[in-house]
Amino acid sequence: MHTTKHNMSNYNMNMKEAIQKFIDAFVKDGGNVNSKVSMGNYYVGITNDLDRRSKEHNATFIAVVTAKSKDAAVELEDKLGELGFDDGDRPGNGTDADSVNVIYLQKDQAHLRNM
């Protein structure tokens, strides 16, 4: 089963609130919001299978938001990428139509090998 440091509730919020949830989790995890380098050490992505992605990345998610649709998930991922988080430069890449979970984790060497 996937693990999360800071469990985020389902997407019963607007986009601004969802972005703030990720920023709050980032700061709580020790991140510096004034540093793009610091933000770049965190990866955001989209998945339809939290357990599989947790195993693939061998990582604990810092935050997870379940969006109302794939389009909303892609929009959230894109906005987080614009702020400086690593979104792979292609929001929504490789996701299935039912991928609505936006995940967020700190990158480490094991994670970088699996990207």
Domain regions of the chain by residue span? 15-113
Q: Flag whether pLDDT at 95 surpasses 80.
A: no
- Of 1, 24, 34, residue with least CA distance to 9: 24
Residues of the chain by 3-state class (helix, strand, coil), percent to 5: 40, 15, 45
Q: What is the mean pLDDT of the chain?
A: 79
What's the pLDDT at 76?
92
The tokens for 32 are 């510096």
Half-sphere exposure of 56 (CA within 13 A, CB side): 11
Structure confidence at residue 46 as a pLDDT band (50, 70, 90): very high
Contact at 8 Å (CB) between 85 and 62?
no
Strand partners, 48: none
For 73-90, how does the pLDDT look when each residue is reduced to its tens digit (9 = 90+)?
999 999 999 998 888 867
